[in-house]
Chain A
Amino acid sequence: GQNIDQPTEMTATEGAIVQINCTYQTSGFNGLFWYQQHAGEAPTFLSYNVLDGLEEKGRFSSFLSRSKGYSYLLLKELQMKDSASYLCAVMDSNYQLIWGAGTKLIIKP
């Protein structure tokens, strides 16, 4: 079966760096997405990786290794507003999105 694994919850300190990992086993691969979802709000698009390597967008970066079935989202200079759930999703060979259960990130002062 198809599976996306990411940690259920992580805690980090304001101003620090945190890395949220996502490993996947899917039938084919057509891209990996990261979404951010604040409590009670809509998930919002953060990044899309289809080729190996690191994509940087300001304080957020996303990395992909297709051979390892692995991605991570790196958040730098953490702010309190980064407290949210982070959702990893992979598009399989049928162009279906397979979602992880999300990682709840708690930022402490």
Chain B
Amino acid sequence: ETGVTQTPRHLVMGMTNKKSLKCEQHLGHNAMYWYKQSAKKPLELMFVYSLEERVENNSVPSRFSPECPNSSHLFLHLHTLQPEDSALYLCASSQSAEGPSGANVLTFGAGSRLTVL
């Protein structure tokens, strides 16, 4: 158990579907992140939330919509996705969003494997 739980672990959806990914952290952290991981590519930062406020959006298409209702929960709402959006979506948390360091490392969840048909 990593302290960061993601559901569902696997999701298959059509391009017209609407679905949501959920992330929950039990570490008392104040910052939460969404990353996209594609095969043989570097992790891509999508969104950063600090104390429930979005502090960064790395030019992510509007078909991805994040929501952070409190410091323990993070959602990624998906609609009208494209096949190229198929990837592993990783949630992470850290003590603060001031920049990772030896004392402020990212703790990741196991990811949600998304397949868009």
Binding site for B on A (CB under 8 A): 4, 8, 30-31, 33, 35, 40-45, 48, 50, 87, 89, 91, 95-102
User: Interface residues of B, CB < 8 Å — how many?
Assistant: 20
What separation, in Å, do the CA atoms of A70 and B113 have in the docked complex? 32
Provide 5 A-B residue pairs closer than 8 Å at the C-beta atoms, listed in order of the A residue: A30-B99, A42-B107, A42-B108, A42-B111, A96-B45
Contact of A42 among B40, B45, B90, B105 (CB under 8 A): B90
Q: B83 on the interface (CB 8 Å rule)?
A: no
Binding site for A on B (CB under 8 A): 2, 4, 40-43, 45, 90, 98-102, 105-111
Across-interface contacts of B111 in A (CB, < 8 A): 42
What separation, in Å, do the CA atoms of A100 and B107 have in the docked complex? 18
**Contact B98–A50 (Cβ < 8 Å):** no
Across-interface contacts of B105 in A (CB, < 8 A): 33, 45, 48
